Amino acid sequence: MINQFSIKKQILLFSVLFVSVFNAQSIEDGVNFYFGQKYDSAKEIFQKNDSGDGVYWLGQVMIAQRASNNDVRKLYQEGLVKFPKSKLIKIGLSHVDILDGKLAEAKAIESAILEGSKNPDEYNAVARAHIQAGKKGDQGFVIEKLKPIYDNNKKKDVNIPLYLANAYLYKKNTSDATY
């Protein structure tokens, strides 16, 4: 009888672990959903992820779903209280600043963050903020920040050349958009 009980316990434990492993989704999974425009699936993942990256990407989903800038700003401000060192959340706030027409303030924050940074995620986030903001963003700023990174690290991050090309295309300088 004890043996059967043990086996049942082991099966139950294995089942719980199996379900947990397959239900746990990463930031990367959420980002893939985001870029695939499956925003509800991405949002679900980011809401469950208690990290600065999760907060940043949740805000990006909110922007994509056209949430109010005030709601996105509130999310990022609350995220900074919990994750005060998160550079991505600060870039997220600068994204909202760009959308609110505060380009100079956003660029000052972004320049300070990117100074000496080697993290391609930070460069990509800045580029995404300006490109997604359309005419409110500064594509010249994106080119200025991404071009040296691209020249020095051509194959390390696939998004850098994509954002760089988008910035050139947006500026209608297509002769330089061959990355």
The string of pLDDT tens digits covering residues 84-109 is 999 999 999 999 999 999 999 999 99
As for how many domains the chain has, the answer is 1
Domain range for residue 68?
50-176
Q: Which of 12-16, 74-78, 155-159 has the highest mean pLDDT?
A: 74-78
Residue 23 reports pLDDT greater than 90 = no
- In three-state secondary structure terms, 28 is helix
Residue 11 belongs to some domain of the structure: no
Tell me the torsion sign for CA atoms 164, 169, 170, 173: positive
Residue 144 belongs to some domain of the structure: yes
CA atoms of 176 and 141, how far apart (whole Å): 15
The Cα angle at residue 127 between residues 122 and 128, in degrees rounded to 5: 95
Classify burial at 18, counting beta carbons within 10 Å of its beta carbon; exposed 0-12, middle 13-18, buried 19 or more.
Answer: exposed
Residue 146 belongs to some domain of the structure: yes
Cβ neighbours for 47, distance < 8 A, ≥ 6 positions apart: 54, 58
Residue 36 belongs to some domain of the structure: no
Please provide the average confidence, as pLDDT, over all residues in the chain: 86
CB atoms within 10 A of CB 143: 20
> 109, 90 in Cβ contact below 8 A?
yes
Residue 162, domain CATH: 1.25.40.10
Residue 170 reports pLDDT greater than 60 = yes
pLDDT in tens, 37-52: 999 999 999 999 999 9
DSSP 8-state secondary structure symbol assigned to residue 139: H
Residue 32 belongs to some domain of the structure: no
Based on DSSP, count helices (H) and strands (E) in the chain, helices before strands. Answer: 10, 0
Residue 162 belongs to some domain of the structure: yes
CA atoms of 46 and 48, how far apart (whole Å): 5
CA atoms of 92 and 128, how far apart (whole Å): 10
